[in-house]
Structure 1
Amino acid sequence: MPYELQALIGSAELLAVAAAEVPVARLAPLSQGLALIPATPEFLAALGYQVGGAEGASDEEAGFDWLPDGSGRRLAAWSKAGPIACVEAFFFGGSGTQRAAVWVDGRLALGPLTNAEFAPFPPEGGPISRALRHLGARVEPARADGADYVDEFEAVGLPAHRSTARWASPS
C-alpha cells in the first residue's frame, strides 16, 4: 500500500496562525502538541503554485518541487513564532524517498535533508524524524498496546493516514 505525504508541520498554535492566513488550509492534529497542514492543491494554489506549472516552480532554498517560489520567505516569517517543517514522503512496496527542512527564527535551520529511494536511513534517522526532533518531538517509551515506537515519525502519528488528501479530509 503506498504512502505519500506533502505537508507543513509545526506546533498546533503556530499552524493555527498560518491556517488563518491561508483560509483553504486544513489543520490536522498530531500528537505531542504538533499539527500538520497538508499540501493540497487548494493550499498550494493559495500560496501561488501553478498546478501543471513549469518545472521551475520550486523554492530553490528548500529544494521541494511542490513548494511555490517565494514560499521560503513565508515559512521564514511563520518560523519567527516557532519552528516549522516542510516534509514529503513517498513510499510504495517498502521503498521510497523522504525530504524535510525546518525553518527557525526566520531562517532555514535544518536541511533540506533527503533520503533517496532504496537508501537506508542514517543512524540519526530519516529526514522527517530528524525534522520532528527539531520541532521537539520525542519517541515515547511505549504505545498504549505496550509496544515501543520506532521513531518520531510514528510517535507523533504520521502513519495515521496514507495520503496527503486523507489528512485534509475531515475526520
Structure 2
Amino acid sequence: MSKIDETAEFIPVRIAVLTVSDTRALAEDRSGDVLVGRILAAGHLVADRQIVRDERGDIAAQLRTWCADADIDVVISTGGTGLTGRDVTVEAHRDVYEKEIDAFGTVFTIVSMNKIGTSAVQSRATGGVAQGTYLFALPGSPGACKDAWDEILVRQLDYRHRPCNFVEIMPRLAEHQQRK
C-alpha cells in the first residue's frame, strides 16, 4: 500500500499553472486559485501562472515555452478538457507530449466516479511528459482540481511517497535526448 516515507527528505518541485478559458481573468480563476493554494500548502513552488484562450496553438505554445524553461518541473492546466467544440486542451497537450501517462486519465476517472458518478465519462483529463517536464490537463471546475490534486498529484509529486513517485524519476525523463 502507498505511504509517505518520513525518513526521506521532501523535495519541492516548481509547478506552473495554466488556466484555459475564453472568459476568465485572474480575479475570477477559482480553479487556478485552488491549484495554487494546494501547491503552496504542500510545500512546492508556483513557478508561473497564466491564462490563455481556448485556442489549440496558443495552449501548445505556452506548454512548449514552459517545457523549455529549466526552472519549471511540472505544468498543470485547468479547463478545456470537455467535449464541446472549444475544448481543445487535451489535443494541445498531446501535440506537445513525447510520452503520454495513460494511467493518469484512468485514475482520474476512478477518483471522479467516486465523487460525481457516471458524469466522470465527460472528462478527458490527461498527463504526459515533454522535454523532461510533467504535463497534466485537468477539468476546469474547482472540484475536479481538488480531486486531482488531493487524490493523485499531491502523492505523486512528493518524493517521499512509496512505493514510487514522479519526482524520483525526474532526472531521467529527458535521458533519451542526451544519447548519441
TM-score by length of structure 1 reads 0.29
Give the structure with the higher percent strand.
Answer: 1
Give the structure with the higher percent helix.
Answer: 2
- Larger RCO (CA under 8 A, 6+ residues apart): 2
